[in-house]
């Protein structure tokens, strides 16, 4: 009894400290640029994002470290720059090059937080289940209507008849825009919002602080959202870009072979023959359609963010919850003739960032400080009172939030790789108070092959590369020196884009434990994350259920006969299989090594 009392007494300070720590609501948005009311863009309807900005700190000059989804997200979630993560491409799984990385939610888990993630936080194929206390589950909602997918099937058949390459046919998607007559929650992002709201209600009753992440897909292409958000805008009154041309004097690698990611738009059937930016801008009708769709998608996401903020208030959690909202990068809406991201320019690297810390002195203000997405990790750790890992390459923004400083750094940095005929290049961009300086290095020789310089006092849209003018030679040298004083010079070898973890190893089979009526083993999902494929070889549909460490059941999937379902699950986790009448059939307990996939075969009776 004495030992029990002593343990309780010793444990009380820890429980008290956990209870006092703030929760974190972590909201990610895909491809959202700073076209919002709170950023002064009055024709965009974003009341919920505007109220978050008004109640926290709005960062007007926040920059991603690489303007494409996977590298940007890995950089933010690890607090490290792309040259440190070695994730420069969409096709590189983070754990294949950083197996021991400790992400933001992992760090919070380590210090007593319960972490849950929904939607797109990491890149789509790899939700990184090791970062979360419960396995990630995508909502089963369509992206397009059945009519749209039917038209896509017809279009692909036409492509085959015309002899188009197989890879091109397989990449082709349905229309880039569509108006849907469905409720919000019946579409993908509304379902993600519903997942997060449901989880918030559950977490609100727990004493353990939480880190709840919700990642929304729109306004990423395709611009397919419910009708009411389209109806918010008059297409004829939407202003178009005034600089629909490539920057004068920019080197070829600035946009590269695929013209700053323009291939992405051409992967949609109604824009499959859209002309490249180097050939001139899209037609006015096309530009208006795309901008209308983009803004409708922004307003749709704004409504989902509003649901989260309203629920936080309703549950009485707002007073003890840090709210951070960010987008992985900007996006071109006709600027420089482009309709994507994937450059080192302001329009692609600058993105929204809002942080609301309860009671922060600077709440309700706009910060014009230069900040970077690698700063998010140390900032959240600092605000929550957690140790800030030494390896992080960002800077805590806490001084900006508590009003003790107006700047934390002199410049923000981004980069982008290009493969050109004369070699492989990496472009490094530095945004200072006045200038954007870009230095292109050929990676085998490490020599400068091109430079770009844009003066934001005189050219805020970055239309004229003045690096080619002789009178700026001294300025170029000074900016280059400043860049490499801050960043380590690259020493890595060029890596081809396809660097995903090897799937060559044959999966091993987990033992099947038929139900006997005995108690299940304790579910202890503390081991390495494994790639698990469940295969239903029985003659009837079965239910796939994950068991939490507390013994709670979470339904994941109905597996029809011969169906398979793949997920990353922690070693030690228990998965129960039940029939349609909720009768237990058996279970699997996950075990193995992180580099080898496993399969869980549900046998025929």
**What does residue 74 show for φ and ψ, rounded to 5 degrees?**
-65, -40
Number of other residues whose CB lies within 10 A of the CB of residue 245: 15
Q: Are 31 and 219 in contact (CB under 8 A)?
A: yes
**Burial of 417 per CB tally in 10 Å (0-12, 13-18, 19+):** buried
What whole-number distance in Å separates Cα of residue 53 and Cα of residue 37? Answer: 10
What whole-number distance in Å separates Cα of residue 89 and Cα of residue 70? Answer: 7
Number of other residues whose CB lies within 10 A of the CB of residue 603: 13
Strand order in the sheet with 210-216: 114-119, 210-216, 23-29, 321-327, 353-356, 57-63, 365-372
Task: Specify the residue for token string 């004068």.
Answer: 248
Closest C-alpha among 119, 114, 84 to residue 98: 84
Could you give the C-alpha distances from 522 to 16, 373, 590, in angstroms and in order? Answer: 27, 39, 12
**Burial of 539 per CB tally in 10 Å (0-12, 13-18, 19+):** exposed
- Catalytic, 123? Answer yes
Tokens at 486, concatenated: 């801050």
- Catalytic, 69? Answer yes
Helices (H), 205-323: 227-230, 263-266, 284-314
Residue 440, beta-bridge partner list: 427, 450
HEC profile of 56-85: CEEEEEEECCCCCHHHHHHHHHHCCCHHHH
From 64, 69, 136, 187, the catalytic residue: 69
What whole-number distance in Å separates Cα of residue 412 and Cα of residue 75? Answer: 14
From 123, 136, 187, 329, the catalytic residue: 123
Angle, CA of 71, 166 and 266, to the nearest 5°:
55
Q: Are 119 and 190 in contact (CB under 8 A)?
A: no
Tokens at 79, concatenated: 């607090």
Instruction: Output the DSSP codes for 410-476.
Output: S-EEEEEEEEETTEEEEEEEEE-SSEEEEEEEETTTTEEEEEEEEETTT-TT--B-GGGSGGGHHHH
285-296 burial, b at 16+ Cβ within 10 Å, e below that, comes to ebbbbbbbbbbb
What whole-number distance in Å separates Cα of residue 522 and Cα of residue 490? Answer: 48
Task: Specify the residue for token string 């959690």.
Answer: 317
Q: Catalogue the active-site residues.
A: 69, 123
């Amino acid at each position: 009894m004495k030992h029990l009392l002593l343990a309780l007494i010793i444990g009380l300070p820890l429980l008290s400290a956990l209870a006092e720590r703030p929760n974190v609501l972590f909201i990610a948005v895909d491809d959202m640029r700073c076209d919002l009311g709170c950023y002064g863009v009055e024709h965009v309807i974003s009341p919920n994002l505007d109220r978050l900005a008004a109640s926290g700190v709005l960062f007007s000059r926040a920059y991603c470290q690489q303007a494409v989804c996977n590298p940007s997200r890995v950089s933010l979630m690890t607090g490290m720059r792309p040259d440190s993560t070695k994730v420069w491409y969409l096709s590189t799984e983070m754990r294949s090059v950083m197996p021991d990385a400790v992400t933001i939610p992992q760090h919070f888990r380590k210090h007593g937080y319960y972490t849950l993630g929904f939607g797109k936080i990491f890149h789509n194929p790899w939700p990184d289940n090791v970062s979360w206390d419960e396995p990630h589950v995508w909502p089963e909602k369509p992206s397009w209507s059945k009519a749209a997918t039917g038209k896509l099937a017809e279009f692909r058949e036409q492509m085959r008849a015309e002899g188009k390459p197989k890879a091109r046919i397989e990449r082709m998607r349905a229309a880039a825009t569509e108006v849907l007559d469905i409720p919000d929650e019946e579409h993908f992002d509304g379902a993600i919002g519903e997942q997060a709201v449901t989880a918030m209600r559950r977490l609100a009753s727990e004493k353990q602080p939480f880190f709840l992440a919700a990642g929304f897909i729109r306004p990423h292409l395709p611009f397919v959202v419910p009708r009411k958000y389209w109806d918010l805008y008059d297409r004829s009154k939407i202003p178009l870009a005034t600089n629909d041309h490539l920057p004068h004097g920019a080197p070829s690698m600035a946009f590269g072979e695929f013209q700053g990611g323009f291939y992405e738009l051409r992967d949609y059937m109604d824009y499959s023959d859209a002309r490249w930016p180097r050939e001139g801008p899209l037609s006015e009708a096309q530009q208006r359609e795309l901008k209308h769709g983009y803004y409708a998608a922004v307003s749709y996401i704004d409504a989902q963010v509003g649901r989260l903020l309203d629920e936080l208030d309703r549950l009485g959690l707002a007073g003890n919850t840090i709210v951070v909202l960010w987008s992985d990068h900007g996006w071109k809406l006709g600027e420089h003739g482009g309709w994507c991201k994937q450059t080192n320019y302001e329009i692609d690297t600058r993105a929204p960032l809002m942080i609301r810390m309860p009671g922060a002195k600077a709440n309700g203000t706009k910060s014009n400080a230069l900040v970077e997405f690698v700063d998010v990790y140390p900032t959240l750790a600092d605000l929550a009172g957690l140790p800030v890992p030494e390896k992080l390459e960002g800077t805590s923004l806490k001084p900006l939030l508590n009003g003790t400083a107006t700047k934390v750094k002199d410049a923000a940095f981004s980069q982008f790789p290009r493969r050109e005929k004369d070699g492989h290049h990496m472009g490094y961009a530095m945004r200072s108070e006045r200038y954007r300086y870009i230095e292109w290095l050929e990676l085998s020789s490490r020599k400068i092959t091109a430079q770009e310089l844009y003066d934001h006092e005189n050219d805020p849209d970055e239309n004229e590369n003045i690096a080619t003018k002789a009178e700026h030679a001294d300025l170029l040298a000074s900016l280059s020196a400043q860049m490499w004083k801050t960043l380590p010079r690259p020493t890595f070898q060029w890596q081809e884009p396809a660097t995903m973890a090897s799937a060559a190893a044959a999966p091993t089979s987990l033992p099947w434990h038929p139900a006997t009526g005995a108690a299940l083993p304790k579910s202890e999902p503390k081991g390495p994350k494994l790639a698990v494929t469940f295969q239903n070889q029985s003659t009837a549909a079965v239910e796939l259920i994950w068991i939490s460490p507390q013994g709670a059941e979470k339904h994941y999937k109905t597996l029809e006969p011969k169906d398979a379902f793949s997920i990353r699950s922690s070693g030690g986790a228990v998965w129960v299989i039940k029939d349609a009448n909720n009768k237990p059939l058996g279970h699997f307990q996950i075990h193995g090594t992180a580099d080898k996939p496993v399969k869980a075969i549900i046998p025929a009776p």
